[in-house]
């Protein structure tokens, strides 16, 4: 419940600010400031480095596409509680009881489509959320439809499970120059990167699939799957599972393994990366941090307690020095 006294003080504060004419230079106060729940959600993060009034307002205006509403879809929970309130969600699946180990739903959501469950959840947290839900499986035939959807958002969070979707969405984002954040939901660690799509670097160029210029409907996806998987298999990832579980996951006998602890880590990483991209897209400075640009992936291994960068293009590991800020690169084993 929102405390009435807090809302009254917030309202008086806005009125006084309006009378004094004081506001951050160059910042357009978003419509979201008329939403009391939104104001409460963003209040406690004020004063954290980079969370200026300018960035907070930009967060409230930014539209995010969550492509995949399963384990990676949990980024939506982080985003809405950070102040994002404009969402597009794509997923074809339904909520299963086993999803409750990592998604913020209750048993009553089991059987609902994931897009429907997320829409209800997001609007329960912030009733002013705008949520467009597409319960749909993305295939190689959907490039035209995806182009329309992606053209209408600012940032894409990719978390699909099927290769046709995971190939086609990056291709469309690259063509439209839309920023795309990735972080494998089954990596069981903090792992994140941004495809800025400002230059020539793309999923296809780094993967070396030999598919550039080929119609998505004519690509042999089974043939490129091994090269596709190598892009996201950063050093140490396979060690997260027991040998028997790894064998069964790879053979398709069991679904990928993940849990709340590690899904929370990877989606917190994705949310923070989306916040940073929001700042850059709005011309706002970042203090003591920067975008992690693909082909570099930022990794924190909670098992070993170590942090490193992985260059997917050059197959090398970068060890950061906290004191100097420099990164020392080594060839990956």
The pLDDT value recorded for residue 236 is 87
In a domain, 310, yes or no: no
In a domain, 289, yes or no: yes
Domain count along the chain? 1
In a domain, 318, yes or no: no
The pLDDT value recorded for residue 325 is 87
pTM for the complete prediction?
Answer: 0.89
In a domain, 121, yes or no: yes
In a domain, 7, yes or no: no
Is-contact 64 157, C-beta < 8 A? yes
Q: How far apart are the C-alpha atoms of 246 and 244, rounded to whole Å?
A: 5
Supply the range of the domain harboring residue 227.
Answer: 31-297
The pLDDT value recorded for residue 35 is 85
In a domain, 14, yes or no: no
CB-based contacts of 206-210 (< 8 A; 24+ apart in sequence): 206/231, 206/294, 206/295, 206/312, 206/313, 207/231
Q: How far apart are the C-alpha atoms of 44 and 218, rounded to whole Å?
A: 50
In a domain, 174, yes or no: yes
Which CATH number do you get for residue 210?
3.40.50.720
In a domain, 5, yes or no: no
Q: Which tokens sit at 25? A: 């230079």
Q: How far apart are the C-alpha atoms of 52 and 35, rounded to whole Å?
A: 18
Residue numbers in the chain where pLDDT is lower than 70: 1-34
The pLDDT value recorded for residue 162 is 93
């Amino acid at each position: 419940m929102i405390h009435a006294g807090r809302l009254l003080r917030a309202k008086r504060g806005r009125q006084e600010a309006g009378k004094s004419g004081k506001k951050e230079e160059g910042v357009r106060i978003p419509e979201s400031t008329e939403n009391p729940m939104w104001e409460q959600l963003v209040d406690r993060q004020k004063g954290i480095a980079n969370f200026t009034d300018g960035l907070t307002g930009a967060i409230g205006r930014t539209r995010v596409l969550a492509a995949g509403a399963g384990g990676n879809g949990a980024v939506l929970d982080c985003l809405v509680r950070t102040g994002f309130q404009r969402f597009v969600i794509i997923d074809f699946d339904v909520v299963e009881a086993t999803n409750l180990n990592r998604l913020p739903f209750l048993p009553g959501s089991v059987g609902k489509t994931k897009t429907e469950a997320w829409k209800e959840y997001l609007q329960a947290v912030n009733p002013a959320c705008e949520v467009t839900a597409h319960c749909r499986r993305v295939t190689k035939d959907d490039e035209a439809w995806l182009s329309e959807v992606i053209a209408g958002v600012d940032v894409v969070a990719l978390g699909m499970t099927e290769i046709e979707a995971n190939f086609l969405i990056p291709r469309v984002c690259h063509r439209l120059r839309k920023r795309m954040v990735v972080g494998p939901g089954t990596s069981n660690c903090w792992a994140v990167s941004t495809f800025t799509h400002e230059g020539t670097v793309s999923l296809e160029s780094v993967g070396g699939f030999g598919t550039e210029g080929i119609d998505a409907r004519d690509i042999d996806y089974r043939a490129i799957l091994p090269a596709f998987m190598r892009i996201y298999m950063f050093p140490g990832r396979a060690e997260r599972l027991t040998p028997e579980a790894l064998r069964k996951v790879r053979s398709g006998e069991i679904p990928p393994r993940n849990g709340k602890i590690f899904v929370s880590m990877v989606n917190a990483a994705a949310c923070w990366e989306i916040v940073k991209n929001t700042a850059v897209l709005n011309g706002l400075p970042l203090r003591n941090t920067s975008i992690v640009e693909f082909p570099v992936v930022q990794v924190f291994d909670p098992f070993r307690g170590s942090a490193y960068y992985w260059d997917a293009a050059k197959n090398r590991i970068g060890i950061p020095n906290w004191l100097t800020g420099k990164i020392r690169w080594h060839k990956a084993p």
